[in-house]
């Protein structure tokens, strides 16, 4: 199979719980993201996938539980080494180019280096012709692509992606999947939510199925699709849980 390096940082979550108004939104006893290659998170709407990603990235503090990265409890310094693409992309009210140079500047790149790198990224993402346009005027798919490019620009050690290709056309999806795999090969840990089973098969090394706020199953990609162990996974694959 694809050759992924074993240098991606290890993430471990124990006893994560989030509740609101008596309802349990997230309840993850134990989750370890350690193996090589991307982790793809599947699950029906409202299963808690976005919530889990926000927790792992440290954007929300769970009511209970503990998250470590390389054995060290999550802190703000970790977040600087991570990036996240949100389900609804948030772009700065600046030009397409400026959205990239903004984060590159925080990486400590000089003015010229920033522009060169931004142009390179825009070419890879098929947005070079839009560089000077306002980011607010991009189409839904273009905005999503820019958000992904911006996350890649950070060259994070961990990259969280929440349905990053949900609005992309087939060829853009292919291009973005290529960029994500390239990052994974360079050692970035990819943690990605998707509703696209084909995509999970293509990219996933490790599959996590969420259901009702819990991790219903975690398995290597081959096992998950050929021999699902949990009833939830079998139902999900049969399409029974998809609303």
Partner 1 sequence: MQDFSQEFMSAIGLILSGDSDLWEIVLLSLRVSLLAVVIAALIGMPLGAALAVARFPGRRAVVILLNALMGLPPVVVGLLVYLCLSRSGPLGVLQLLYTPTAMIIAQVVLVTPIITALTRQTIETLDAEYAEQLRSLGISRLASVPTLLWDARLALLTAFLAGFGRAIAEVGAVIMVGGNINHVTRVMTTTIALETSKGNLALALALGAILIFIAVTVTAVVSLLAPQERASEMRHA
Ligand X SMILES: Nc1ncnc2c1ncn2[C@@H]1O[C@H](COP(=O)(O)OP(=O)(O)OP(=O)(O)O)[C@@H](O)[C@H]1O
Would you say 27 or 101 has its CB closer to Mg ion? 27
Decide if residue 35 touches ligand X (CB under 6 A).
no
Closest separation in Å from C-beta 109 to ligand X: 33
Interaction between residue 76 and partner 1 (CB under 8 A): yes
Minimum Å gap between C-beta 35 and ligand X is 22
* Residue indicated by tokens 């189409």: 139
Q: 159 has which bridge partners?
A: 83, 190
The region of 17-25, 63-71, 131-139, 178-186 touching partner 1 under the rule CB under 8 A is: 131-139
Q: Identify which of 211, 194, 210 has the alpha carbon closest to the alpha carbon of residue 202.
A: 194
Handedness of CA 8, 37, 194, 67 (dihedral sign): negative
Q: 164 near 148, Cβ under 8 Å?
A: yes
**Binder among 46, 58, 126, 141 for ligand X (CB under 6 A):** 46
Q: Which is nearer to ligand X, 25 or 28 (CB)?
A: 25
Q: What's the chain's Rg over C-alpha atoms?
A: 18
The binder of 152, among partner 1, Mg ion, ligand X, none, by C-beta within 5 to 8 A per type, is none
- The region of 27-35, 37-45, 87-95, 121-129 touching partner 1 under the rule CB under 8 A is 87-95
Contact between 135 and 96 under an 8 Å Cβ cutoff? The reply is: yes
Q: Considering the rule CB under 8 A, would residue 243 count as an interface residue with partner 1?
A: no
236 binds partner 1 (CB under 8 A): no
Work out how close the CB of 162 gets to Mg ion at its nearest, in angstroms, rounded to a whole number: 6
The pairing of strands 158-162 and 189-193 is parallel
Cβ pair 167, 144 in contact under 8 A: yes
Q: Which helix (H) or strand (E) holds 240?
A: none
Question: CB under 8 Å to 46, separation ≥6 — which residues?
Answer: none
Q: Is 43 in the site for ligand X (CB under 6 A)?
A: yes
Q: Out of 61, 110, 129, 137, point to the residue binding partner 1 (CB under 8 A).
A: 137
The footprint of ligand X on residues 84-143 (CB under 6 A) is: 87
Interacting positions 79-118 with Mg ion (CB under 5 A): 87
The helix or strand, by DSSP H or E, that contains position 141, with its residue range, turns out to be: helix 140-153
Contact between 50 and Mg ion by CB under 5 A: the answer reads: yes
Instruction: Say which entry of Mg ion, partner 1, ligand X, none residue 20 contacts (CB below 5 to 8 A, set by partner kind).
Output: ligand X
Asked if residue 20 binds ligand X (CB under 6 A), the reply is yes
Q: Where are the beta strands (DSSP E) in 70-193?
A: 72-73, 82-85, 158-162, 189-193
The tokens of 58 are what?
């440290």
How many residues appear in the chain?
Answer: 243
Footprint of partner 1 on this chain (CB under 8 A)? 57, 59, 76, 79-80, 82-84, 86, 90, 92-94, 102-103, 106, 133-134, 136-137, 154
């Amino acid at each position: 199979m694809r050759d992924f390096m074993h240098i991606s940082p290890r993430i471990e979550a124990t006893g994560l719980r989030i509740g609101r108004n008596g309802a349990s939104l997230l309840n993850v006893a134990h989750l370890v993201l350690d193996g090589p290659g991307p982790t793809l998170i599947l699950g029906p709407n409202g299963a808690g996938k976005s919530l889990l990603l926000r927790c792992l990235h440290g954007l929300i503090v769970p009511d209970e539980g503990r998250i470590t990265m390389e054995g060290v409890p999550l802190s703000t310094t970790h977040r600087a080494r991570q990036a996240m693409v949100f389900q609804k992309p948030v772009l700065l009210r600046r030009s397409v180019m400026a959205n990239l140079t903004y984060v590159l500047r925080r990486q400590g790149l000089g003015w010229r280096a920033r522009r060169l790198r931004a142009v390179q990224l825009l070419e890879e993402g098929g947005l070079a012709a839009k560089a000077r346009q306002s980011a607010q005027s991009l189409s839904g798919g273009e905005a999503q692509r820019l958000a992904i490019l911006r996350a890649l620009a950070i060259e994070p050690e961990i990259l969280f992606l929440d349905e990053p290709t949900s609005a992309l056309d087939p060829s853009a999806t292919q291009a973005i999947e290529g960029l994500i795999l390239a990052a994974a090969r360079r050692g970035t840990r990819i943690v990605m939510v998707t509703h696209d089973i084909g995509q999970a098969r293509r990219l996933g090394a490790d599959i996590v199925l969420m259901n009702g706020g819990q991790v219903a199953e975690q398995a290597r990609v081959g096992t998950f699709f050929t021999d699902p162990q949990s009833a939830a996974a079998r139902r999900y694959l049969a399409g029974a849980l998809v609303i």
